[in-house]
Structure 1
Amino acid sequence: MTDERAHWNERYREREPPTEPSDLLREWVDDLPDGRALDVATGGGRNALFLAEHDYSVDAIDVAEEGLGIARERADERGLSEQIEFVRADVEDHDFPAEAYDAVVVSHYYSLNALPDLKEALAPGGVLLYEHRLHPPDDRSSRFRFRANELLRACLDLRIVRYEEPMGITEDATDVRLVARKPSSE
Protein backbone atom coordinates (compact mmCIF):
# COMPACT_ATOMS: atom_id res chain seq x y z
CA MET A 1 0.00 0.00 0.00
CA THR A 2 1.45 3.36 -0.95
CA ASP A 3 2.08 6.01 1.71
CA GLU A 4 -0.43 8.32 -0.01
CA ARG A 5 -3.15 5.67 -0.03
CA ALA A 6 -2.43 4.77 3.61
CA HIS A 7 -2.61 8.45 4.59
CA TRP A 8 -6.02 8.97 2.97
CA ASN A 9 -7.44 5.67 4.19
CA GLU A 10 -6.49 6.62 7.75
CA ARG A 11 -7.96 10.09 7.32
CA TYR A 12 -11.32 8.66 6.14
CA ARG A 13 -11.36 6.23 9.09
CA GLU A 14 -10.81 9.13 11.50
CA ARG A 15 -13.03 11.80 9.98
CA GLU A 16 -16.26 11.75 7.97
CA PRO A 17 -15.74 13.41 4.58
CA PRO A 18 -17.94 16.37 3.58
CA THR A 19 -21.39 15.66 2.20
CA GLU A 20 -22.22 18.92 0.42
CA PRO A 21 -20.97 19.47 -3.14
CA SER A 22 -18.42 22.16 -3.76
CA ASP A 23 -19.79 25.68 -4.05
CA LEU A 24 -18.18 26.00 -7.48
CA LEU A 25 -19.95 22.89 -8.79
CA ARG A 26 -23.25 23.92 -7.26
CA GLU A 27 -22.93 27.34 -8.92
CA TRP A 28 -22.06 26.01 -12.39
CA VAL A 29 -23.91 22.68 -12.68
CA ASP A 30 -26.75 24.15 -14.78
CA ASP A 31 -24.23 25.57 -17.28
CA LEU A 32 -22.30 22.33 -17.80
CA PRO A 33 -22.86 20.27 -20.94
CA ASP A 34 -24.97 17.16 -20.33
CA GLY A 35 -23.46 13.69 -20.45
CA ARG A 36 -20.54 12.05 -18.72
CA ALA A 37 -18.55 13.54 -15.83
CA LEU A 38 -15.34 12.77 -13.98
CA ASP A 39 -14.95 13.53 -10.28
CA VAL A 40 -11.24 13.59 -9.44
CA ALA A 41 -10.20 12.58 -5.91
CA THR A 42 -13.84 11.92 -5.06
CA GLY A 43 -13.26 11.09 -1.40
CA GLY A 44 -16.70 10.53 0.10
CA GLY A 45 -18.33 11.22 -3.27
CA ARG A 46 -20.00 14.57 -2.55
CA ASN A 47 -19.45 15.94 -6.07
CA ALA A 48 -20.06 12.62 -7.82
CA LEU A 49 -23.39 12.21 -6.05
CA PHE A 50 -24.45 15.75 -6.90
CA LEU A 51 -23.57 15.19 -10.56
CA ALA A 52 -25.46 11.88 -10.63
CA GLU A 53 -28.49 13.65 -9.11
CA HIS A 54 -28.27 16.01 -12.09
CA ASP A 55 -28.43 13.06 -14.54
CA TYR A 56 -24.72 12.67 -15.28
CA SER A 57 -23.04 9.35 -15.75
CA VAL A 58 -20.06 9.75 -13.41
CA ASP A 59 -16.64 8.20 -13.04
CA ALA A 60 -15.45 8.86 -9.47
CA ILE A 61 -11.75 8.21 -8.91
CA ASP A 62 -9.84 8.11 -5.65
CA VAL A 63 -6.75 6.37 -4.30
CA ALA A 64 -8.37 5.46 -0.96
CA GLU A 65 -10.59 2.43 -0.54
CA GLU A 66 -12.05 3.94 2.65
CA GLY A 67 -13.24 7.06 0.85
CA LEU A 68 -14.68 5.06 -2.01
CA GLY A 69 -16.48 2.79 0.46
CA ILE A 70 -18.15 5.82 2.03
CA ALA A 71 -19.03 7.16 -1.43
CA ARG A 72 -20.54 3.80 -2.46
CA GLU A 73 -22.66 3.69 0.70
CA ARG A 74 -23.92 7.21 0.07
CA ALA A 75 -24.71 6.35 -3.55
CA ASP A 76 -26.61 3.22 -2.46
CA GLU A 77 -28.61 5.23 0.10
CA ARG A 78 -29.64 7.71 -2.60
CA GLY A 79 -30.32 5.14 -5.30
CA LEU A 80 -27.51 6.47 -7.50
CA SER A 81 -25.19 3.45 -7.72
CA GLU A 82 -26.10 2.69 -11.33
CA GLN A 83 -24.98 6.17 -12.46
CA ILE A 84 -21.57 6.18 -10.76
CA GLU A 85 -18.54 4.06 -11.59
CA PHE A 86 -16.15 4.08 -8.63
CA VAL A 87 -12.49 3.71 -9.63
CA ARG A 88 -9.77 2.98 -7.09
CA ALA A 89 -6.65 4.41 -8.69
CA ASP A 90 -3.99 7.02 -8.26
CA VAL A 91 -4.94 10.01 -10.43
CA GLU A 92 -1.25 10.53 -11.23
CA ASP A 93 -0.97 7.07 -12.85
CA HIS A 94 -4.47 6.54 -14.21
CA ASP A 95 -4.98 6.19 -17.97
CA PHE A 96 -7.96 8.48 -18.61
CA PRO A 97 -9.86 7.98 -21.88
CA ALA A 98 -9.33 10.79 -24.40
CA GLU A 99 -12.20 13.22 -25.04
CA ALA A 100 -14.59 11.18 -22.88
CA TYR A 101 -15.94 13.65 -20.34
CA ASP A 102 -18.32 16.56 -20.76
CA ALA A 103 -17.36 17.81 -17.30
CA VAL A 104 -14.30 17.24 -15.13
CA VAL A 105 -14.50 18.35 -11.51
CA VAL A 106 -11.42 18.72 -9.32
CA SER A 107 -12.06 19.92 -5.80
CA HIS A 108 -9.13 20.24 -3.41
CA TYR A 109 -6.69 18.02 -5.19
CA TYR A 110 -3.36 19.44 -6.36
CA SER A 111 -1.71 18.03 -9.43
CA LEU A 112 0.00 19.88 -12.21
CA ASN A 113 1.35 16.51 -13.39
CA ALA A 114 -2.11 15.02 -14.02
CA LEU A 115 -3.64 18.21 -15.41
CA PRO A 116 -2.62 17.58 -19.07
CA ASP A 117 -4.30 14.15 -18.91
CA LEU A 118 -7.43 15.64 -17.34
CA LYS A 119 -7.63 18.29 -20.06
CA GLU A 120 -7.14 15.61 -22.72
CA ALA A 121 -9.98 13.62 -21.13
CA LEU A 122 -12.37 16.54 -21.76
CA ALA A 123 -14.63 16.13 -24.77
CA PRO A 124 -14.65 19.07 -27.21
CA GLY A 125 -16.80 21.72 -25.56
CA GLY A 126 -16.33 20.01 -22.18
CA VAL A 127 -15.86 22.05 -19.03
CA LEU A 128 -13.18 21.82 -16.35
CA LEU A 129 -14.12 23.03 -12.86
CA TYR A 130 -11.05 23.22 -10.63
CA GLU A 131 -10.69 24.60 -7.14
CA HIS A 132 -7.88 24.20 -4.67
CA ARG A 133 -5.95 26.01 -2.02
CA LEU A 134 -3.64 28.86 -2.90
CA HIS A 135 -0.10 28.89 -1.58
CA PRO A 136 0.40 31.52 1.12
CA PRO A 137 3.29 33.77 0.04
CA ASP A 138 5.18 33.37 3.34
CA ASP A 139 4.64 29.62 3.82
CA ARG A 140 7.36 27.41 2.37
CA SER A 141 5.77 24.16 3.61
CA SER A 142 2.69 24.29 1.34
CA ARG A 143 4.03 22.28 -1.56
CA PHE A 144 0.61 20.89 -2.53
CA ARG A 145 -0.98 24.28 -3.15
CA PHE A 146 -1.05 26.47 -6.22
CA ARG A 147 1.10 29.55 -6.46
CA ALA A 148 -0.37 32.79 -7.80
CA ASN A 149 -1.66 32.31 -11.38
CA GLU A 150 -0.14 28.81 -11.61
CA LEU A 151 -3.47 27.11 -12.38
CA LEU A 152 -4.38 29.84 -14.86
CA ARG A 153 -1.10 29.45 -16.78
CA ALA A 154 -1.53 25.66 -16.85
CA CYS A 155 -4.95 25.99 -18.50
CA LEU A 156 -4.32 28.65 -21.14
CA ASP A 157 -4.92 26.06 -23.86
CA LEU A 158 -8.57 26.04 -22.73
CA ARG A 159 -11.01 28.95 -22.99
CA ILE A 160 -11.01 30.50 -19.54
CA VAL A 161 -14.60 31.26 -18.54
CA ARG A 162 -13.84 32.27 -14.95
CA TYR A 163 -10.70 32.52 -12.89
CA GLU A 164 -10.36 33.96 -9.43
CA GLU A 165 -7.87 34.15 -6.63
CA PRO A 166 -8.46 35.96 -3.36
CA MET A 167 -6.97 39.43 -2.93
CA GLY A 168 -5.23 38.14 0.16
CA ILE A 169 -5.12 34.70 1.72
CA THR A 170 -7.15 34.70 4.91
CA GLU A 171 -8.96 32.08 6.96
CA ASP A 172 -12.07 32.66 4.81
CA ALA A 173 -10.38 33.16 1.45
CA THR A 174 -7.86 30.52 0.44
CA ASP A 175 -9.11 28.97 -2.80
CA VAL A 176 -8.20 29.52 -6.40
CA ARG A 177 -11.12 28.70 -8.74
CA LEU A 178 -11.17 28.02 -12.44
CA VAL A 179 -13.91 27.30 -14.94
CA ALA A 180 -12.62 26.57 -18.44
CA ARG A 181 -14.02 25.06 -21.62
CA LYS A 182 -12.15 22.88 -24.07
CA PRO A 183 -12.50 24.32 -27.57
CA SER A 184 -14.97 22.51 -29.80
CA SER A 185 -13.59 20.78 -32.87
CA GLU A 186 -15.87 22.94 -35.04
Structure 2
Amino acid sequence: MSDDRDRWNDRYEQADFDPDDDPVPALERRISTLPDGRALDVATGTGRNALFLAEHGYDVDAVDISDAALERARDRAAERGVDANWIRADLADFDPGRERYDVIVVSFFAALEHLPALKDALAPGGVLIYEHHLRSSDPVAGPSTDRYRYRSNDLLRACLDLTILSYEERRRPVDDGGDEDGSEDDDGTIAVATLVARRSSGGTQSYPLVSDVGGDDA
Protein backbone atom coordinates (compact mmCIF):
# COMPACT_ATOMS: atom_id res chain seq x y z
CA MET A 1 0.00 0.00 0.00
CA SER A 2 2.83 2.42 0.81
CA ASP A 3 4.27 1.92 -2.69
CA ASP A 4 0.94 2.88 -4.25
CA ARG A 5 0.65 5.88 -1.96
CA ASP A 6 4.16 7.06 -2.83
CA ARG A 7 3.50 6.59 -6.55
CA TRP A 8 0.30 8.64 -6.47
CA ASN A 9 1.81 11.28 -4.21
CA ASP A 10 4.62 11.72 -6.71
CA ARG A 11 2.07 12.03 -9.48
CA TYR A 12 -0.06 14.67 -7.76
CA GLU A 13 2.98 16.66 -6.63
CA GLN A 14 4.10 17.21 -10.22
CA ALA A 15 3.60 20.86 -11.11
CA ASP A 16 2.48 20.01 -14.65
CA PHE A 17 -0.20 17.52 -13.56
CA ASP A 18 -3.47 19.43 -13.89
CA PRO A 19 -6.45 17.06 -13.57
CA ASP A 20 -9.87 17.91 -14.94
CA ASP A 21 -12.08 20.09 -12.74
CA ASP A 22 -15.32 18.76 -14.22
CA PRO A 23 -17.17 15.75 -12.82
CA VAL A 24 -17.60 12.67 -14.98
CA PRO A 25 -20.28 13.40 -17.62
CA ALA A 26 -22.74 10.78 -16.36
CA LEU A 27 -22.79 12.35 -12.90
CA GLU A 28 -23.17 15.89 -14.20
CA ARG A 29 -25.92 14.92 -16.61
CA ARG A 30 -27.96 12.88 -14.16
CA ILE A 31 -27.53 14.90 -10.98
CA SER A 32 -31.17 16.08 -10.96
CA THR A 33 -32.39 12.45 -11.15
CA LEU A 34 -30.28 11.10 -8.28
CA PRO A 35 -31.57 10.51 -4.74
CA ASP A 36 -30.59 13.17 -2.20
CA GLY A 37 -28.56 12.46 0.91
CA ARG A 38 -25.13 11.00 1.44
CA ALA A 39 -22.55 10.28 -1.24
CA LEU A 40 -19.26 8.41 -1.52
CA ASP A 41 -16.59 9.33 -4.07
CA VAL A 42 -14.10 6.49 -4.53
CA ALA A 43 -10.54 7.39 -5.56
CA THR A 44 -11.53 11.04 -5.41
CA GLY A 45 -8.17 12.43 -6.55
CA THR A 46 -8.41 16.22 -6.35
CA GLY A 47 -12.12 15.95 -5.68
CA ARG A 48 -13.83 16.81 -8.95
CA ASN A 49 -16.80 14.49 -8.30
CA ALA A 50 -16.87 15.06 -4.55
CA LEU A 51 -16.95 18.84 -4.87
CA PHE A 52 -19.67 18.69 -7.51
CA LEU A 53 -21.77 16.52 -5.19
CA ALA A 54 -21.13 18.80 -2.22
CA GLU A 55 -22.20 21.80 -4.29
CA HIS A 56 -25.47 19.98 -4.92
CA GLY A 57 -26.19 19.47 -1.24
CA TYR A 58 -24.77 16.01 -0.56
CA ASP A 59 -22.91 15.00 2.57
CA VAL A 60 -19.81 13.57 0.90
CA ASP A 61 -17.22 11.04 1.99
CA ALA A 62 -14.26 11.17 -0.42
CA VAL A 63 -11.63 8.44 -0.29
CA ASP A 64 -8.17 8.41 -1.83
CA ILE A 65 -4.83 6.80 -1.08
CA SER A 66 -2.82 9.93 -1.87
CA ASP A 67 -2.08 12.59 0.74
CA ALA A 68 -1.05 14.99 -2.02
CA ALA A 69 -4.30 14.53 -3.90
CA LEU A 70 -6.40 15.14 -0.81
CA GLU A 71 -4.40 18.26 0.03
CA ARG A 72 -5.21 19.65 -3.39
CA ALA A 73 -8.84 18.60 -2.95
CA ARG A 74 -9.09 20.49 0.35
CA ASP A 75 -7.62 23.60 -1.28
CA ARG A 76 -10.13 23.38 -4.12
CA ALA A 77 -12.96 22.89 -1.65
CA ALA A 78 -11.94 26.02 0.25
CA GLU A 79 -11.83 28.02 -2.99
CA ARG A 80 -15.35 26.86 -3.88
CA GLY A 81 -16.82 27.29 -0.41
CA VAL A 82 -17.78 23.65 0.14
CA ASP A 83 -16.30 20.71 1.99
CA ALA A 84 -16.29 16.93 2.19
CA ASN A 85 -15.07 14.33 4.62
CA TRP A 86 -11.65 13.66 3.07
CA ILE A 87 -10.47 10.14 3.96
CA ARG A 88 -6.94 8.94 3.26
CA ALA A 89 -7.19 5.18 2.80
CA ASP A 90 -6.57 2.35 0.44
CA LEU A 91 -9.97 1.09 -0.67
CA ALA A 92 -8.92 -2.38 0.46
CA ASP A 93 -8.75 -1.04 4.02
CA PHE A 94 -11.84 1.18 3.85
CA ASP A 95 -15.16 -0.09 5.18
CA PRO A 96 -18.02 1.68 3.38
CA GLY A 97 -20.59 0.11 5.70
CA ARG A 98 -24.01 -1.18 4.69
CA GLU A 99 -26.86 0.79 3.13
CA ARG A 100 -25.07 4.03 3.98
CA TYR A 101 -24.88 5.93 0.69
CA ASP A 102 -27.51 7.28 -1.68
CA VAL A 103 -24.95 7.90 -4.42
CA ILE A 104 -21.59 6.22 -5.01
CA VAL A 105 -19.23 7.41 -7.75
CA VAL A 106 -16.18 5.50 -8.99
CA SER A 107 -14.21 7.07 -11.80
CA PHE A 108 -11.12 5.60 -13.41
CA PHE A 109 -10.23 3.21 -10.60
CA ALA A 110 -10.04 -0.54 -11.21
CA ALA A 111 -12.13 -1.84 -8.33
CA LEU A 112 -14.13 -4.85 -9.52
CA GLU A 113 -12.98 -6.86 -6.49
CA HIS A 114 -14.43 -4.16 -4.23
CA LEU A 115 -17.79 -3.93 -5.98
CA PRO A 116 -19.61 -6.35 -3.63
CA ALA A 117 -18.82 -4.10 -0.66
CA LEU A 118 -19.66 -0.95 -2.59
CA LYS A 119 -22.99 -2.36 -3.71
CA ASP A 120 -23.79 -3.37 -0.13
CA ALA A 121 -23.02 0.21 0.88
CA LEU A 122 -25.79 1.56 -1.38
CA ALA A 123 -28.98 2.47 0.45
CA PRO A 124 -32.18 1.04 -1.04
CA GLY A 125 -32.77 3.08 -4.17
CA GLY A 126 -29.18 4.30 -4.12
CA VAL A 127 -27.35 4.81 -7.41
CA LEU A 128 -23.88 3.72 -8.49
CA ILE A 129 -22.13 5.69 -11.23
CA TYR A 130 -18.97 3.99 -12.46
CA GLU A 131 -16.71 4.93 -15.35
CA HIS A 132 -13.47 3.20 -16.30
CA HIS A 133 -11.05 2.61 -19.15
CA LEU A 134 -11.62 -0.21 -21.64
CA ARG A 135 -9.20 -2.38 -23.54
CA SER A 136 -9.36 -1.17 -27.13
CA SER A 137 -7.84 -1.80 -30.53
CA ASP A 138 -8.13 1.94 -31.21
CA PRO A 139 -5.29 4.34 -30.40
CA VAL A 140 -6.52 5.82 -27.12
CA ALA A 141 -5.09 7.63 -24.12
CA GLY A 142 -5.12 6.19 -20.62
CA PRO A 143 -3.22 3.42 -18.84
CA SER A 144 -0.20 2.16 -20.74
CA THR A 145 -1.11 -1.51 -20.29
CA ASP A 146 -4.34 -3.53 -20.37
CA ARG A 147 -3.74 -4.57 -16.78
CA TYR A 148 -5.58 -1.45 -15.63
CA ARG A 149 -8.35 -1.60 -18.23
CA TYR A 150 -11.59 -3.58 -18.24
CA ARG A 151 -12.64 -5.94 -20.99
CA SER A 152 -15.91 -5.41 -22.77
CA ASN A 153 -18.88 -6.02 -20.41
CA ASP A 154 -16.71 -6.73 -17.34
CA LEU A 155 -18.33 -3.84 -15.48
CA LEU A 156 -21.82 -4.66 -16.72
CA ARG A 157 -21.60 -8.31 -15.66
CA ALA A 158 -20.36 -7.30 -12.21
CA CYS A 159 -23.48 -5.18 -11.62
CA LEU A 160 -26.30 -7.32 -12.97
CA ASP A 161 -27.68 -7.72 -9.45
CA LEU A 162 -28.55 -4.00 -9.62
CA THR A 163 -31.10 -2.29 -11.87
CA ILE A 164 -29.11 -1.11 -14.89
CA LEU A 165 -30.30 2.37 -15.78
CA SER A 166 -27.65 2.96 -18.41
CA TYR A 167 -24.58 1.18 -19.76
CA GLU A 168 -22.38 2.25 -22.65
CA GLU A 169 -18.97 1.43 -24.09
CA ARG A 170 -17.46 4.06 -26.37
CA ARG A 171 -14.61 6.40 -27.13
CA ARG A 172 -14.86 9.90 -25.72
CA PRO A 173 -12.75 12.99 -26.47
CA VAL A 174 -10.68 14.42 -23.63
CA ASP A 175 -8.73 17.66 -23.45
CA ASP A 176 -5.45 18.64 -21.81
CA GLY A 177 -6.73 18.17 -18.27
CA GLY A 178 -7.85 14.66 -18.89
CA ASP A 179 -8.88 12.28 -16.15
CA GLU A 180 -7.27 11.49 -12.83
CA ASP A 181 -6.07 8.07 -13.89
CA GLY A 182 -2.31 8.48 -13.85
CA SER A 183 -1.88 8.20 -17.61
CA GLU A 184 1.04 10.05 -19.13
CA ASP A 185 -0.96 11.80 -21.87
CA ASP A 186 -4.68 12.41 -21.68
CA ASP A 187 -5.00 14.31 -24.98
CA GLY A 188 -7.14 12.76 -27.71
CA THR A 189 -9.72 10.11 -26.89
CA ILE A 190 -10.27 7.52 -24.21
CA ALA A 191 -12.19 4.24 -24.47
CA VAL A 192 -14.55 4.00 -21.52
CA ALA A 193 -17.34 1.93 -20.04
CA THR A 194 -19.95 4.01 -18.20
CA LEU A 195 -22.50 2.40 -15.93
CA VAL A 196 -25.41 3.90 -14.00
CA ALA A 197 -27.20 1.38 -11.80
CA ARG A 198 -29.64 1.45 -8.88
CA ARG A 199 -30.02 -0.80 -5.87
CA SER A 200 -33.57 -1.93 -6.56
CA SER A 201 -35.45 -4.91 -7.91
CA GLY A 202 -38.76 -5.92 -9.43
CA GLY A 203 -40.26 -6.12 -12.86
CA THR A 204 -42.14 -2.85 -12.45
CA GLN A 205 -40.14 0.13 -11.27
CA SER A 206 -40.01 3.89 -11.64
CA TYR A 207 -37.25 5.14 -13.93
CA PRO A 208 -35.58 8.56 -14.14
CA LEU A 209 -36.59 10.93 -16.92
CA VAL A 210 -33.34 11.83 -18.71
CA SER A 211 -33.27 14.17 -21.68
CA ASP A 212 -31.50 13.10 -24.87
CA VAL A 213 -30.46 16.68 -25.57
CA GLY A 214 -26.72 16.86 -26.08
CA GLY A 215 -26.33 13.11 -26.43
CA ASP A 216 -26.30 10.42 -23.79
CA ASP A 217 -23.22 10.77 -21.60
CA ALA A 218 -24.31 7.97 -19.32
- Same fold by TM-score greater than 0.5: yes
Give the superposition deviation at 1:124.
0.5
List per-residue Cα deviations over 1:59-95 (Å, max 9, x = no partner): 00000000000001111111212xx100000012211
| Number of equivalenced pairs | 182
Q: What amino acid maps onto 2:165 in structure 1?
A: V
Unpaired stretches in structure 1, ≥5 consecutive residues: none
Where relative contact order (Cα < 8 A, 6+ residues apart) is larger, the structure is: 2
Given the alignment of the two structures, is residue 113 of structure 1 paired with residue 113 of structure 2, yes or no? yes
Q: Secondary structure at the match of 2:117?
A: helix
Give distance in 1, aligned partners of 2:125 and 2:66. 31
1:132 match: 132
1:32 match: 34
Instruction: Say whether the 8 Å CA contact 2:162–2:201 is kept in structure 1.
Output: no
Q: Secondary structure at the match of 2:170?
A: coil
Aligned Cα root-mean-square deviation (Å): 2.2
Give the superposition deviation at 1:17.
2.5
Give the superposition deviation at 1:115.
1.0
- Identical positions, percent: 53
2:199 match: 182
Q: Secondary structure at the match of 2:78?
A: helix
Given the alignment of the two structures, is residue 172 of structure 1 paired with residue 176 of structure 2, yes or no? no
Q: Secondary structure at the match of 1:25?
A: helix
Give distance in 2, aligned partners of 1:138 and 1:116. 31
Instruction: Say whether the 8 Å CA contact 1:92–1:113 is kept in structure 2.
Output: no
Give distance in 2, aligned partners of 1:109 and 1:52. 21
Given the alignment of the two structures, is residue 143 of structure 1 paired with residue 147 of structure 2, yes or no? yes
Q: What amino acid maps onto 1:28 in structure 2?
A: R
Q: Which structure 2 residues correspond to residues 1-186 of structure 1 after superposition, within 5 A?
A: 2-14=2-14, 15-81=17-83, 84-136=84-136, 141-166=145-170, 171-183=188-200
Q: Secondary structure at the match of 1:4?
A: helix
Give the superposition deviation at 1:143.
0.8
Unpaired stretches in structure 2, ≥5 consecutive residues: 172-187, 203-218
Instruction: Say whether the 8 Å CA contact 2:103–2:126 is kept in structure 1.
Output: yes
Give the superposition deviation at 1:2.
1.2
Instruction: Say whether the 8 Å CA contact 2:42–2:62 is kept in structure 1.
Output: yes
Give distance in 2, aligned partners of 1:58 and 1:184. 26
Instruction: Say whether the 8 Å CA contact 1:125–1:184 is kept in structure 2.
Output: no
TM-score (norm: length of structure 1): 0.91
Instruction: Say whether the 8 Å CA contact 2:45–2:66 is kept in structure 1.
Output: yes
Instruction: Say whether the 8 Å CA contact 1:107–1:132 is kept in structure 2.
Output: yes
2:178 match: none
Q: What amino acid maps onto 1:128 in structure 2?
A: L
Q: What amino acid maps onto 1:136 in structure 2?
A: S
List per-residue Cα deviations over 1:78-134 (Å, max 9, x = no partner): 1212xx100000012211111000000011111111111111110000000000100
Distance 1:141 1:78, change over 3 A: closer
Give distance in 2, aligned partners of 1:138 and 1:57. 39
